[in-house]
Amino acid sequence: MEYTPADEILIEEKWQELEEACRKAKVCRREDDWQFIRRAFFLAKEAHKGVRRRSGEPYVVHPIEVALIAVREIGLGKKSVVAALLHDVVEDTEYTLEDIERIFTPKIASMVDGLTKMSGVFNADSSEQAEYFRKVLLTLSDDVRVIIIKIADRLHNMRTLGAMPHHKQIKITSETIYLFVPLAYRLGLHAIKSELEDLCMKYRFPEEYEEIKRKIDETEPERQVFIDRFTAPIRQMLDDNKFQYEMTARVKSVYSIWNKMRRKNIPFEEVYDLFAIRIVFKALPFPSEKTQCWQIYSCVTDIYTPHPGRLRDWVSIPKSNGYEALHSTVMGPDGIWVEVQVRTERMDDIAERGFAAHWKYKHSTISQEEDGLEKWLRKVREALNSPTENALEFLDNFKLSLYKSDIVVFTPKGKNISLPYGATVLDFAYEIHTKIGDHAIGAKINHRIMPITTRLNSGDQVEVITADSARPKASSLETVVTSKARQAIQDYLKSERRDNIEFGMQRLEEALANYNVSLNGRVLRKLMAAYDCRGKDELYSKIGAGIIELDNLEKLLKENSSRKILKFWKLLIPGSKVDECDEPNLDDEASTLDDTIGTEGEATYAPDFVMAECCEPIPGDRVAGYRDPQSGKIIVHKSTCDTLIRLAAQFGNNIIKEEEIRWSQHKAISYLASVEIHGIDRTGIILDLTKLITADFSINMRAISVQSHDGIFEGTISIYVQDIESLNALLDNIRKIKGIESVKRLLST
């Protein structure tokens, strides 16, 4: 099908826009460069002829838009523009990689190949997807531009997501928030990261998005008056000191505001740091950029008093994604804290455009040491080249390394090491060397002996204490936060489990031989049921580890355990046919949601619903479900749950939409909720609190933990409630107790 006249006009307009962006960015310096890009444009236009996007526009508009993002918003060069224009050609048309190499260059063909493989990442089943992604990340070894162009591709797809059906929107936004947002953050693409987050929220939580956006717009005039009053004396001071600068106020993104409201359980009106003042100045050749940043900081703090605990110096030690700036929070007019950010033009370019700008400035900086981004890329290569059996595990571990704030700690000899916020001694030990991590038993932190689970703070000096007898434990997976530590522990545990399985199988065969019994399926089913094991590997492993002693083996072999086996199979394979006369109802808990699932007019029988322990949803929460392919059960999560987002990104087809799940309205069932309280300690306050919960509201408590220090107390309470309304009513009444300063529901995600 040929292009219509309207199509030709639209395509030509977009092409002219791309040409203008390339000229402005000085992408092409010779006529040959222009011909190189034009050739890619005409090939893409011809290859995608007759194909339209879901929105109705010609498909070729999409690669042009991706190229525009690459050059205008990220600052990539000629080869990246060509690769962006051709990124869907090999996957969607009859052109081959050999054609691309012949018409362009081997390098362009290599980049297009990487982009083509990336397209397969999110169209495969989960394990295949993770393996694809692992292979594609190998392109980081020689060309990170492939990943950056893919992020640009995802950004344009998100900008046009409104044309997609709702179930596709959920899957695509989950993939985006799970992987592309952290990747954009790690590569320093701050502006794109923020836009991706906002777009994800717009489609996942449209009502909340529009409400916050409306409030931002409504408060803009009042906010501008304050900003003008705050910045006026700073402008005067900087002008007097002959600085060339631009000063702007940057409002937090909608997603960032919403995230803070959720995390702190506060309304929009209590988010006081809605904006930050940014000073971007033209650095002089002398003194150093760092010195000039501190000079401007001094000008600001001569006017406004700085908060002593809120100075962030990323000029002396940049973030691992290359970010450099000075951040200080100062007390402004009317007792309002305001964050002020100070950057040079170079620092601002890197902050907004990330890796591309970082690479542009790399060779003009004095230091030739390996910087944060290069260190991160080196770690990625190491992780990719290390053996791993489970590709899904690799994907989760890799994602873990992306989206963390940094701390800087020091070795005994003074070498600084960047770690993610929340890192422990064990993370530090594995960062030094895998063998040190495997044998770590503690550390000297600032010359004080502390356990390996101790979380580190910026500035700590750490010396790891090891013992030859020490070995990694499964419980350590709960404390480490770096992908390197997690992978090393998992590798060791897998190796140990393999040994246990072999040893356990050998022990079981020898034990059975004593009774002249051979190891077969019937015996295995009987033993798995007796020892509550879901598979033979679990049975062998527990025997090999000494968890199962086999001291009652003779009794088990003689026992008629058909009912146990029946119960075992029903547990293992939900929905299997059993004789109800022989087997009474084995389910101890009633279903917690309606027994039907489906859209209006097409209800069908649903398997059991299980409340996710990670986020503890209760009636009234917005929820979605994940159908476990193994058991058939639907695990219900809050819509905002991080685990759900990961599952939706990896198993999009198994997600049950919110509108298809209905809370039961007639069953008196209690749900676990956790509450955090803070207040001023006084005699009898805990008694008043427990009386209100148990006597006045007839609510059962599962656990209560309270700590008091210097007249201030804080604690958590786990309670059983029927729905969100009863929980909110209880919280409202707790707030009325004398001495209670704040009370909020703890959100697991």
b/e 235-256 (16+ beta carbons within 10 angstroms → b): eebbeeeebebeeebeebbbbb
Going by C-alpha positions, the residue among 653, 601, 604, 644 that lies closest to residue 623 is 644
Q: CB–CB of 670/700 below 8 Å?
A: yes
Q: Which helix (H) or strand (E) holds 722?
A: none
Q: Which residue in the list 19, 33, 92, 681 is annotated as catalytic?
A: 92
Spatial separation of the C-alpha atoms in residues 335 and 305, rounded to whole Å: 11
State the angle between helix axes of 642-650 and 391-400 in degrees (0 to 180), rounded to the nearest 10: 130
Q: CB–CB of 348/324 below 8 Å?
A: no
Strand ordering across the sheet containing 245-251: 245-251, 275-281, 337-344, 326-331, 306-313
**Which residues lie below 8 Å from residue 92, measured CB to CB, with a gap of 6+?**
47, 48, 51, 59
Strands 337-344 and 740-745 come out as unpaired
Task: Tally Cβ neighbours within 10 Å of residue 178.
Answer: 21
Q: CB–CB of 466/439 below 8 Å?
A: yes
Q: CB–CB of 623/661 below 8 Å?
A: yes
Tokens of 479: 């404390």
Tokens of 338: 């305001």
Give SS3 for 392.
helix
Going by C-alpha positions, the residue among 304, 309, 334 that lies closest to residue 231 is 304
Q: Which amino acid belongs to residue 57? A: E
Tokens of 410: 């020091």
Judged on CB neighbours under 10 Å (0-12, 13-18, 19+), 287 is: exposed
Q: CB–CB of 504/541 below 8 Å?
A: yes
Q: Is 91 a catalytic residue?
A: yes
Q: Give how far the C-alpha of residue 116 lies from the chain's centroid of Cα atoms, to the nearest Å.
A: 24
What's the Cα-to-Cα distance from 447 to each of 318, 450, 464, rounded to whole Å? Answer: 27, 9, 11
Which residues of 422-491 form beta strands (DSSP E)? 440-445, 448-450, 462-466
Q: Is 600 a catalytic residue?
A: no
Q: Which amino acid belongs to residue 284? A: L
Spatial separation of the C-alpha atoms in residues 12 and 8, rounded to whole Å: 6
Q: Which residue in the list 7, 17, 19, 91 is annotated as catalytic?
A: 91
Tokens of 363: 């060779």
- Phi, psi (degrees; rounded to nearest 5) at 351: -65, -35
The greatest distance separating any two alpha carbons of the chain, rounded to the nearest whole angstrom, comes to 97
Spatial separation of the C-alpha atoms in residues 107 and 633, rounded to whole Å: 48
Give the residue numbers annotated as catalytic, written as ranges: 91-92
